[in-house]
């Protein structure tokens, strides 16, 4: 049994690929993805806070630390006194215990724990500031904040 290809037997078979079905499939897939992507990508509407310069109210019981990194390592200052990591932890624990006792102990429902305010030099490595935060949180301080210098602007808003 023979198969007839038709036409002249000297003609060679056509070797070009018919790309029309391929283009049709690609267009269908493109339309499906254009419809499906907005359904997959979801976002929760959140209104982010507007940051304004708010002056820090410094209370006498708050701890003021200054941190800077030098060639010889991290330097941490409690007020104006340079302290090592061990001294920082000991001073922080003592300060927190003294403040809790001054306010009537842990049973006081109006107990206000002191805050830690850290001033970090711009060129200080993160490990220095991160280590100071970790030490103060290990001592029991829950509120740790950073003191920064606001951008200089011509407009000063009064609150």
Place of tokens 């602007």: 153
Output the pTM of the full model: 0.60
Question: pLDDT tens per residue, the chain (159 residues)?
Answer: 455 555 666 777 777 778 888 899 999 999 988 887 776 666 556 565 565 666 767 788 889 899 988 777 888 999 888 999 999 999 999 999 999 898 888 888 888 888 998 888 888 888 998 999 999 999 999 989 888 776 666 555 555
pLDDT, position 137: 93
Place of tokens 């949180």: 137
**Residue 129 phi, psi dihedral angles, 5° rounding:** -70, -40
How many CA atoms are closer than 13 Å to the CA of 100, on its beta-carbon side? 11
Terminal Cα-to-Cα distance of the chain (whole angstroms):
99
């Amino acid at each position: 049994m023979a198969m007839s290809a038709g036409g002249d037997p000297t003609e060679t078979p056509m070797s070009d690929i018919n790309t029309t079905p391929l283009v049709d499939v690609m267009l269908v897939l493109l339309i499906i993805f254009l419809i499906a992507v907005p359904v997959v990508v979801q976002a929760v509407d959140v209104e982010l806070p507007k940051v304004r310069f708010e002056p820090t109210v410094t209370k006498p019981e708050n701890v003021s630390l200054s941190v800077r990194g030098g060639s010889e390592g991290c330097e941490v200052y409690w007020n104006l006194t340079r302290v090592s990591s061990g001294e920082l932890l000991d001073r922080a624990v003592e300060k927190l215990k003294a403040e809790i006792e001054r306010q009537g102990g842990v049973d006081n429902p109006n107990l206000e724990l002191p805050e830690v305010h850290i001033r970090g030099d711009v060129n200080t490595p993160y490990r220095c500031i991160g280590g100071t935060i970790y030490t103060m949180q290990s001592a029991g301080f829950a509120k740790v904040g950073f003191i920064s210098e606001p951008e200089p602007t011509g407009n000063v808003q009064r609150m």
